[in-house]
Amino acid sequence: MATIPVRATPIGGVSRVARRGYRIVADVPSIPLSMLAILAFVAIFAPVIAPHGKLMPVKPTPEQCQAKFGMANCPYIDNVPPFWATGGTVETPLGTDFLGRDVLSRLMYGARISLVVALTGTLFAGVIGTLLGVLAGYLGKWWDQVIMRVTDAWLTLPSLVFAILLSSVRGPGLWNVVLILALVFWSRYSRAVRGEVLALRERDFVKLAEINGIGKLTIIFHHLVPNVMNTVMVLFSLQVGVAVIIEASLSFLGVGVPPPEPSWGLMMAQERDSLMDGKWWLAVFPGIGITMLVLSANMLGDWLRVRLDPQLRNR
Amino acid sequence: MRKYILLRAFYSLITLWLLVTIIFGMVRLTGDPIQMKGEVGADTVYLEELKKRWGLDRAFHQQYVGFIGNLLRGDFGHSFEKSLPVRDIYFERLPNSLKLGFAAFVISIVLGVPLGMLSAVKINSWWDNAGKMVALLGLSMPGFFVGMVLIIIFGVELRWLPVLGKGRSAFVGSDPSTWVAFWFRDWSHLVMPAFALGWYFSGAMLRITRSGMLDVLGSDYIKLVRLKGVPERMVVAKHALKNSMIPVLTFAGLNLLIMVNVAVVIEVIFNWPGVGQLLYDGLSNRDFPMVQGVVLMSGLMIVVLNFTIDVLYGYVDPRIRLSR
């Protein structure tokens, strides 16, 4: 007698979902994400959590003025060491710079500049590069030749050298740096995206779309662009780190974000002389900020690369 | 083979021409060198004169033709600040940059290649993790930060190494006695800037070495060698090493040139009188021809090197030679 098998009750239920969720969470790289989260939090809420302003010197108490200058009143006290060194106060935990401004507050506002400039610059570069790469790969023929030759020529110059050339005619300015980053970095995307599209173009879903008479524009934006997003995201996260370093370098050379804005690179440049007097903290703290940001972006990028490219998973 | 070389040369020329065109176009589209030179409220007569002097008053295509013509004659413009041809200033500084670049190159190889090998051979071991950390830190700590930390530790606190300049030895083209001595003198001045510059590239070298070695170790001929019972040490040292070095050496050659050209910030920190400092001086003096000249030279160097690498690859590997 044939029995109708009773459908097995699903094993786990809620716990299975939980286990799966846990596996996803456990796989996420917690170190870079938490570092990025802290930096982003500091950047967004800088005006709220910063103990002092970014541009105005910290107002010293009469006792401090008395101790340093022998007067009851002084506008500011410069080069106060961090709180653990002798002469440091908890009022300014990381000390003050050459104009008596609070280093910690300026670092917090500096995170803002680094993040905004690097993210928007890389984003613009990504949009331009992805579109050109898709065009070159999909339309082929002359489009491909022209776009790829230009891309190759563009890739020849080291990015820092190219950025310096552009900044020499653009001058300092926050949005100038964004523009320069976009102009320098798009070629990295178009190169990689074109390769992807060349393979995608031969796939069945693109062929079928073509047979169905779907327009080229729709194919590009509906079928090709979503499929190259993995590559673009990996490149994006890896490029953000480079962009942060380029922004810091340009600011260091005096053609990036202009003073008195607290860009990390600029802060390091301004304290080059005090380095020799043994006031190491002024140059080291912004450097640590840059390293933290770039390190977490790079770690995230590496993780994404391995995650999205199964061939690399065991590498 | 000759056809291959000619084709590569043709491609290189096209790249060079495009590069020159891009530089010309980007500079004129994104900004105005005159505006950068003249401060706000500068005399208009003076600005007009500047315009004439740089030929910026002519039509766009005339400027372009003149620009290309000058380059073909080897004229990279006239420095505004120093009233000398950019080319002369550049070649006077180049030996210093090469010295720094070579030292950084050696450091990047000494740090990167052995650790990369170890990471690949002992994959997923403690060594591999250490290698990954070094590579990550190398790529994440900007060279100028490393340089500043070095200055603080070895220059200011310990007072072991000089922090500024390149020492007294100079490379003089007309005096052959300086040609060799220049390279071997004043090493104490060289150590810190070379390390700061080589640091970033050692991370990159490590990654390239590791992945190159992994590729080779996974290939069929290595499997065969292992099947024959050759001890693992010999497999790595004798059979895998040579082949895994091909991509590493190509990359290293390119790196050397890039190091010569991107040392700007390092040269500024250590006051090293190389071409990077010319770039910086050009920036701060608003000496646009200087900046443009240095950039053009670095583009030219890299295109020539790429061409050389292509030709060498063609000799080594027939598949590349015959593919196009």
**In angstroms, what is the C-alpha Rg of chain A?**
26
Q: Residue A314: which pLDDT band, with cuts at 50, 70 and 90? A: very low
Ranges A72-86, A187-201, A284-298: which has the least confidence:
A72-86
Looking at the partner chain, which of A156, A170, A291 has a beta carbon nearest the beta carbon of B140?
A: A291
Residue B156 with chain A: CB contacts under 8 Å = 275-276, 278, 280
What is the interface size between A and B, counted as CB pairs within 8 Å?
148
For residue range B267-297, what is the model confidence (pLDDT) as tens digits? 998 888 889 888 888 888 877 788 888 888 8
More confident residue, A183 or A171: A183
Residue range A101-132, pLDDT digits in tens:
888 888 899 899 999 999 999 999 999 999 99
Q: Is the pLDDT of residue A313 over 60?
A: no
Confidence check: pLDDT of B175 > 80: no
- pLDDT above 80 (res B201): yes
Task: Determine the 3-state secondary structure of A102 from DSSP.
Answer: strand
Q: Using CA atoms, how far apart are residues B17 and B72, in angstroms rounded to an integer?
A: 11
Alpha-carbon distance A226 to A123, whole Å? 16
pLDDT at B88 over 90: no
CA-closest candidate to residue A243, choices B203, B142, B201, B207: B142
Chain A partners within 8 Å of B22 (Cβ): 150, 153-154
- Rounded to whole angstroms, the Cα distance separating B139 from B108 reads 12
**Residue A152 amino acid letter:** D
Give the pLDDT of residue A5: 62
Residue A315 has pLDDT above 50, yes or no: no
Percent pLDDT > 90 in chain B is 5
Lowest-pLDDT choice from A23-32, B165-174, B299-308: B165-174
What pLDDT, on the 0 to 100 scale, is given for residue B247? 79
Task: Give the separation between CA B300 and CA B91, rounded to whole angstroms.
Answer: 14
Q: Which of A166, A255, A278 sits opposite B26 (nearest CB)?
A: A166
Cα separation of B204 and A134, whole Å? 29
- Per-residue pLDDT reduced to its tens digit, B112-132: 888 888 888 888 888 888 888
Phi, psi at B78, each rounded to 5° = -120, 125
Per-residue confidence at B166, pLDDT binned at 50, 70, 90? confident
For residue A293, what pLDDT band results from cuts at 50, 70 and 90?
Answer: very high
Average pLDDT over chain B reads: 83
Answer yes or no: do B302 and A278 touch at CB < 8 A: no
What are the distances in angstroms from CA B218 to CA B117, B213, B215, B224, B316?
14, 9, 5, 11, 22
Q: What is the pTM of this model?
A: 0.86
Overall average pLDDT of the B66-70 stretch: 84
Instruction: Measure the CA–CA gap between A241 and B138, rounded to whole angstroms.
Output: 12
Residues A181-192, mean pLDDT to the nearest whole number? 90
pLDDT at A272: 79
* A4-24: average pLDDT: 65
Residue of A nearest to B157 (CA): A278
Q: What are the structure tokens assigned to A94, written together?
A: 């990381």
Is the Cβ–Cβ distance between A31 and A83 less than 8 Å? no
The Cα–Cα gap between B128 and A114 comes to: 32
Partners of A158 on chain B (C-beta within 8 Å) are 258, 261-262, 298, 302
Find chain A residues with C-beta within 8 A of B142's C-beta: 245, 248-249, 287, 290-291, 294
Nearest residue on chain B to A276, alpha-carbon basis: B156
Characterise B230 by phi-psi region: left (phi > 0), alpha (psi -120 to 50), beta (else). Answer: beta
